[in-house]
Amino acid sequence: MRDILIIAQLTWREARRRKIMWTALGLGLALVGLFTLSVYLVVRDMRGYQDVSTILLDSGYNMLLMTGFYAISFLSVMLAVLTSVGTLAGEVSTHTIQSLAVKPFRRGVLVLGKWLGLSALLSCYIILLCAGITLGTWLITRHLPSNLVQGVLLICLQAVVMITLGIWGGARLSTVANGVVAFMLWGLAFIGGWMEQIGGAVGYEPLVYIGIASSLLVPSEALWKMAAAGMQPAVVNSLMLTPFSQASPPSTAMLVYTLIYIAVVVGLAVRTFARRDL
Amino acid sequence: MSQSAPAIETRDLRKVYGTQVAVDALTLAVEPGEAFGFLGPNGAGKTTSVKMLLGLVRPTSGEARLLGMPIGDHACRQRVGFLPEDFRFHEWLRGYEFLDLHARLYHVSESVRARRIPELLEMVDLADAAQQALGTYSKGMLQRIGLAQALVHDPALVFLDEPTSGLDPLGRRMVRDVIKRLSERGVTVFLNSHLLSEVELTCTRVAFVAHGRVRLVTDPRSVRGQVVQVDIRVGSLDDGLLAGLHQWSGQVVVDAQHQTLTLSLPDEQALPEIARWIVGRGVALYQIAPRHVSLEELFVQVVEGEE
């Protein structure tokens, strides 16, 4: 465990030294600022309409905030793939890994350390961004979404799913090939998710099955759906009032499946990397 | 681990990539405290052999033990150091941090790290660059800090893969001195190299490797002083002559066109007897000329003789 933590700390130090951390924090701050400004302008405009009901106003604020969460969810997937695909593959191709892989521990320590370090790093970043836009929106509208903590954690888990896939791929593939595979898998889940949404809305079951199958293959989109469903008012979900509405969100079983999925894929990454010639 | 166990022991270690045999039946025994040279041309399978011994590459077949323990055993790895041929490290780490990281991964205690790392930085002449990022280091500096990394946990066995490839003459001398000091302390050094002079100056034994096989294991110092090559020119060559000469030398190279033979002998003592024997067979003897061979000649002979 101590060795895993040393490797995990190394990923944090790398992010700091390579200026990834400060750049990401600076740009994240810009994102939060821009989002808050946009909310302010929209809300100022909305308040001009006197006859709008409180429920509708609240739903409007919620939709604005959900747009922000959606952007963060999308960004977190991109960041998860970009940071994870090269973390093993890059060190294998430059031979940097050799001096680490001869140390007195299993090779899996390198995999688990990198997985833990990146997952923790990206989760902290997602939590900061989500806290930023939630706070900005709250200051202007006094609106707080329901199940906020659960929603943010699900967005973090979505990033962890992509990091896990990126690390597994990197245990075998080159950085570029791994990046292509990871993005395509995410794209598959993304399209599948929309197919399921459309299938559900028009009552066409085969589309729903396609969606479920894609969620089983890569559960990232399903996690976003769970997050979105939880953070929106029930009426918005059931009437499908926004693009983020979920008439039939994934169940808790999907969450359990995802946790098992992550454990299995991490196990596969450890196994694949242990068998590889370096 | 038993004290008498060889530092390195391999039996028929083999690595095949697809149809290409990288290492073919490597059988070796390196004694504790030896400075052992592993010498061969590029592509001979030296690095693959080292990688198999370190558990970086899985052997296709065969067995190996380091310090009496199976390769890959954590207790074994704890006592083995390695300077890779491609000395690429995390370039965003500073020199001191780099050594500290590797020492921590070898589970070296904080107090020992605080004492040992400055000593090592001093030894590889990088004390002034300790707080610089590795990204700013020259090739030679990286190789030197890589050497310090290989020694940071005070190992009993060190693998150095082409340790002077990026070094200037002063750096090379420093590596030679380090190897000498390690040997004096009883540390086993396995030196992978294609530089004969380097091996000749530092190693107590050397294995010549070509096409994935060990062709000869010898003492480089004895080669320099003792191995004699004898060029013999005769009136006619026949099978009986060749077969007869094998009683003195296992290595008889024939140049039929010029009616000459070359024998390798441990010394000059047998020369009069060989001359008498040839003449006694009724063969005209025009020349029998001894010359001392260098390690380089022996190496070329061994490698080319197998081609």
CB atoms within 10 A of CB B126: 21
Last residue of one domain, picked from the residues B218, B242, B273: B218
In a domain, B162, yes or no: yes
Overall domain count for chain B: 2
Ramachandran bin of B288, using left for φ above 0, alpha for ψ from -120 to 50, beta for the remaining angles: beta
Q: What is the pLDDT of residues B138-184, one digit of tens each?
A: 999 999 999 999 999 999 999 999 998 888 889 889 999 999 999 99
Q: Is the pLDDT of residue B3 over 60?
A: no
> Among A34-43, A142-151, B22-31, B223-232, which is the least confidently predicted range?
B223-232
Measure A128 CA to nearest chain B CA, in Å: 26
In a domain, B237, yes or no: yes
pLDDT band at A20 (very low <50, low <70, confident <90, very high): confident
Last residue of one domain, picked from the residues B159, B185, B218: B218
Q: Does B56 touch chain A (CB under 8 A)?
A: yes
Overall domain count for chain A: 1
Q: Does A20 touch chain B (CB under 8 A)?
A: no
Tell me which residue has tokens 């001096």.
A99
Picking from A10, A103, A272, A273 by the largest number of B CB atoms within 10 A of its own CB, the best residue to mutate is A103
Output the pLDDT for position A58: 82
Mean per-residue pLDDT for A257-268? 96
Q: Which residue of B has its CA nearest to A10?
A: B101
For residues B64-89, one letter each, b for 16 or more C-beta atoms within 10 angstroms of the residue's C-beta and e for the rest, the string is: bbbbbbebbbeebbbbbbbbbbebbb
**For B194, which DSSP code?**
S
Containing domain of residue A105, as a range? Answer: 2-275
Q: To which H or E segment does residue B184 belong?
A: helix B169-184
Residue A277 to residue B75, Cβ atoms within 8 A: no
CB atoms within 10 A of CB B96: 19
Q: Does B101 touch chain A (CB under 8 A)?
A: yes
* B107 shares a domain with B42: yes
* B195 shares a domain with B97: yes
* B55 shares a domain with B153: yes
* B275 shares a domain with B126: no
In a domain, B25, yes or no: yes
Q: The CATH number of the domain where B53 resides is what?
A: 3.40.50.300
In a domain, B228, yes or no: yes
Mean per-residue pLDDT for A255-262? 96
Which residues of chain B does A96 touch, with a Cβ-Cβ cutoff of 8 Å? Answer: 88-90
Q: Is the pLDDT of residue B1 over 50?
A: no
Between the alpha carbon of residue B186 and those of residues B156, B157, B181, B241, the distances in Å are 8, 9, 9, 48
In a domain, B2, yes or no: no
Q: What are the structure tokens assigned to A66, written together?
A: 């959900």
CB atoms within 10 A of CB A228: 25
* B122 shares a domain with B12: yes
Residue B90 to residue A10, Cβ atoms within 8 A: yes
Signed CA dihedral, B103, B106, B110, B114: sign only: negative
* B287 shares a domain with B253: yes
pLDDT band at A59 (very low <50, low <70, confident <90, very high): confident
Which residues of chain A does B78 touch, with a Cβ-Cβ cutoff of 8 Å? Answer: 104
Q: Does B155 touch chain A (CB under 8 A)?
A: no
B276: which residues sit within 8 A by CB, 6+ positions away?
none
Containing domain of residue B289, as a range? Answer: 224-305
Q: Are A186 and A81 in contact (CB under 8 A)?
A: yes
Q: Is the pLDDT of residue B52 over 60?
A: yes
Residue A98 to residue B107, Cβ atoms within 8 A: no
The interface predicted TM-score of the complex, written ipTM, equals 0.85
Q: Is the pLDDT of residue A26 over 60?
A: yes
pLDDT band at B2 (very low <50, low <70, confident <90, very high): very low
Residue B88 to residue A95, Cβ atoms within 8 A: yes
Mean per-residue pLDDT for B47-73? 93
Query: Measured between alpha carbons, how far is B160 from B149 in angstroms, rounded to an integer?
Result: 11
CB atoms within 10 A of CB B54: 24
In a domain, B3, yes or no: no
Q: Does B70 touch chain A (CB under 8 A)?
A: no
Q: What is the pLDDT of residues A69-88, one digit of tens each?
A: 999 999 999 999 999 999 99
* B213 shares a domain with B232: no
Mean per-residue pLDDT for B239-265? 82
Q: What are the structure tokens assigned to B238, written together?
A: 């026949």
Last residue of one domain, picked from the residues B178, B193, B218: B218
